[in-house]
Amino acid sequence: MMRMLARLLAVLNSETHPGQISLGFCFAMVAGFTPLMSLHNLLVLLLVLVIRVNLSAFLLGLPVWSGLAFGLDPLFHRVGLAVLTNGSLASLWTSLYNSTLWRLEHFNNSIVMGSLLVSLLAFAPLYVLSNLAIRRYRAHVLAWVEKTRVMQLLKASRFYSLYQSFSGMGGGL
Amino acid sequence: MTEKQAPPPAREPKDRKKPKNEGWIRWWGLGAFVGLAVLLALLWLFLVDPFVKRMIEQTGTKLVGAKVELAAAHVTLSPLGLTLTRLQVTNPDEPMSNAVEAARIAMSLDGLNLFRRKVIIEEMAVEGLRFGTQRQSSGAVAPSREPGDAAKPAAKIPMPSFEVPDIKTVMATADLQSVKLAESLQADIKKAQDDWKKRLTELPDQRKLNDYKTRIEKLKSSAKGGLGGILGATGEVAAIQKDLEKDLEGIKNAKTDFDRQLADLKQRVDQAIKAPQEDVQRLQEKYRLSPQGLANMSGMLLGGKGGEWVRQGLAWYGKVQPMLAQAQVQPKGPEVVKPIRGKGVEVRFAEREPLPDFLIRTATVSAQLEAGDLNGKIENITPDQHILGKPLTFAFAGDKLKGVQSIRLDGAMNRVVPASPRDHAQVRARGYQVQSMSLSDSADWPVTLGKAVADADLQATVSGQALAGQATVGLQSVKLTAGKPDAANPVIKAIGGALSSVTGFTVKAELSGTVEQYDVHLTSDLDRVLKDAVGKQVQALADQFTKELQAAVMAKAGGPLNELKSSFSGLGGIGNELASRLTQGSLGSALPSNPAEKLLPEGLKLPF
């Protein structure tokens, strides 16, 4: 827990653009909410690696969103089932069902459909809110955090120096 | 004035650098993704074989209920295929032997459909298929279960006895229905007699009926006093007539009831009289001493083997059945498949070109039997025949095998309409060499088919649960031995002689009933041979036994039957009494419709 908190502080306190951190959290939400071995998560991985997304935020967010998904599975199931069994969308699902790529995506599973839909709908609001929160944090809380003993200890740690060095390389880690 | 130090900016700390802006694309990330993908592909290549092997073993073991083992599994990508080496499927009933073992199974897969989670095997080659091979270690996965029907020994069909049984022993254990029937009926007749005696006392008797006559005569004499007397007596006559009619009605009803009960008892008495003969017949059948026994001799001799073969065939049929068992027919609209907690549910939609989830289009099989190789082809193996629209078909053939000149096996398992499944199979064997086949292992009556050459044509159909089949087996160059050479019984000796002189015969079998409860009816020209040879001798023995049996049964049942007849005839007295009262009452009731006319002097008529 402490390790995770330290990592979170390191990410938030770094010079990384808030948008990159927010995107990391948002992509982590998509990958975390939906079953990990889904085809769309391959695309998420590609985007996370190619777009300058903060990887630490992604890796930090992934277990958190996955943990939340366990509790939210019944909701995903209900949403997914409602959408998949909706009569007006039947022709769309039927045509997707006959496509190999979409079958591989396993879209006809209630939890895959529900979790993907929820995470995609929440993507943009989460990005905006997360950006706002990071900016506010940096403006109002960061100075105080920097002075705390925890942060002093963190800054003195090998992990932080390593993180800073990789971050400085422009990797947006 | 000291200058006030300006407060630090609220939004950005003074010592904080601005976030770096290096553009949104991270090109090395693309390389990392490709690298990761290559790494995963390499890992897949290294791990897919053991993964597939483990999956097949685990799934197979779960399905069979006993260990399914593979020596190796190898997946090829171009063309997409899978090769399995030494597949062993343990027989769940005998964990130290394999039900099936295949040396090599190679198959080509439809890759595109595999992405759609459909296992479509275009061609499969099964080589070195063997049955009942020994295992080095037990293949049991659970505590040994009760052996199924297939493992149960065949029910032995008792051979007829050609000894006249000791009549005293027979009667000591005989449960004669005739005696029981006579005793029970005797009690019923006794009860009926008592009941009717009681009822007779309640009915108007002779004295009461005579009373009516006296009263009428008295009125007649009083009426002679003139018209006033006549009119006065009229009312009384009407009352007498009413009472008399009421009494007569009671007697009539009683007579009707009595006649009905008498008829019922008579029927039962007739049955009781016939019962000793039925006892004799039942005991004759029990001790199987009748010429009819010879008429069904082939059924007794060959029925055990026939039943065993049918049972083995049905056991294999039962093992194949689950492979074709389809849970549900796909409806036209979206179909929600079984919900799995935490895993969601699969919603199925109509497919443009529907294909089953699992299908083996063609499987060529080479089975290594003790007799030699049997090659064949199975087509359309799938649990979803209703989607494919084609039934599973199979055809196997083997020529110049050890002990069989040729054998052909073909058939179909049709589940295209799941509600009305229909499976059929036919076997044609030519030149099957029979060697030392024990037909009866009875100590007193061993029968062995030492040698024969058989041509067999069999066909069976299962429609739902109904089973039907026919078989014709022609045997030539037959060498049969029956009974012991030192047998003292002349009939057994004669049968042995007759059977040893048989050089050829034909057996016909009719299979009927259900898969669970089937019946095999065998007929053969062997019966005629036996009947001709020993029919008279058996008939003489049967006659002797019947005569002794009849005498013994009558000795036991005769007494109760005589008592029964006597009691029954006693009921006749009650009937006579009722008839007599009815006659007497009727004479008294012969009154005119107008009672006053009865009282008028002769020649006079009333004006109204």
- Indicate the domain borders of chain A: 2-171
Mean pLDDT (chain B, rounded): 79
B20 pLDDT band, cuts 50/70/90, is: low
Burial of B389: CB neighbours in 10 Å, binned 0-12, 13-18, 19+: exposed
Out of A45, A77, A142, name the one closest to residue B13 (CB).
A142
- φ, ψ (nearest 5 deg) of residue B309: -65, -40
pLDDT of residue B336: 63
Q: Across the interface, do A49 and B346 touch by the CB < 8 Å criterion?
A: no
For residue B24, the chain A residues in CB contact (below 8 A) are: 51-52
pLDDT above 90: percentage of residues in chain A: 51
**Is it the case that residue B39 has pLDDT exceeding 90?**
yes
Only one residue has tokens 């496509």, namely: A99
* Closest B-chain CA to A52: B24
Only one residue has tokens 């630090």, namely: B8
**Residues B283 and B549 sit within 8 Å (Cβ to Cβ):** yes
Amino acid letter at B439? L
**Cβ–Cβ contacts within 10 Å for residue B212, how many?**
22
**Residues B121 and B359 sit within 8 Å (Cβ to Cβ):** yes
> Going along A2-72, which residue ranges are E strands?
none
Half-sphere exposure of B11 toward its Cβ, with a 13 Å CA cutoff?
Answer: 4
Close Cβ partners of B296 (under 8 Å, ≥ 6 residues apart): B527
**Residues B462 and B511 sit within 8 Å (Cβ to Cβ):** no
Pairing of strands B119-131, B358-369: parallel
Q: Which range (B62-76, B410-424, B566-580) has the least confidence?
A: B566-580
For residue B13, the chain A residues in CB contact (below 8 A) are: 138, 142-143, 146
**Residues A111 and A105 sit within 8 Å (Cβ to Cβ):** no
Quote the minimal CA–CA distance from A93 to chain B in Å.
Answer: 7
Which one of A1-5, A94-98, A157-161, B432-436 scores highest in mean pLDDT? A94-98
The residue ranking higher by pLDDT, B298 or B245, is: B245
**Is it the case that residue A150 has pLDDT exceeding 80?**
no
For residue A93, the chain B residues in CB contact (below 8 A) are: 334, 347, 349
Question: If residue B328 lies in a helix (H) or strand (E), which one and from where to where?
Answer: none
For residue A16, the chain B residues in CB contact (below 8 A) are: 19-20
Q: Across the interface, do B20 and A73 touch by the CB < 8 Å criterion?
A: no
pLDDT of residue B146: 53
**Residues A104 and B353 sit within 8 Å (Cβ to Cβ):** no
ipTM of this complex prediction, to 2 decimal places: 0.79
Interface of A with B (CB under 8 A): 15-18, 45-46, 48-52, 73, 76-77, 80-81, 84-85, 90, 93-94, 97-98, 100-101, 103-104, 108-112, 114, 135, 138-140, 142-143, 146, 170-172
B606 pLDDT band, cuts 50/70/90, is: very low
Sign of CA dihedral B569, B572, B573, B574: positive
B577 pLDDT band, cuts 50/70/90, is: confident
Distance between CA B372 and CA B375 in Å, rounded? 10
Amino acid letter at B365? V
Q: Which range (A43-47, B6-10, B403-407, B473-477) has the least confidence?
A: B6-10
Q: Which range (A72-76, A150-154, B398-402, B436-440) has the least confidence?
A: A150-154
Burial of B242: CB neighbours in 10 Å, binned 0-12, 13-18, 19+: exposed
For residue B120, the chain A residues in CB contact (below 8 A) are: none
Q: Which two tokens stand for residue B483?
A: 């009974």
**Is it the case that residue B404 has pLDDT exceeding 60?**
yes
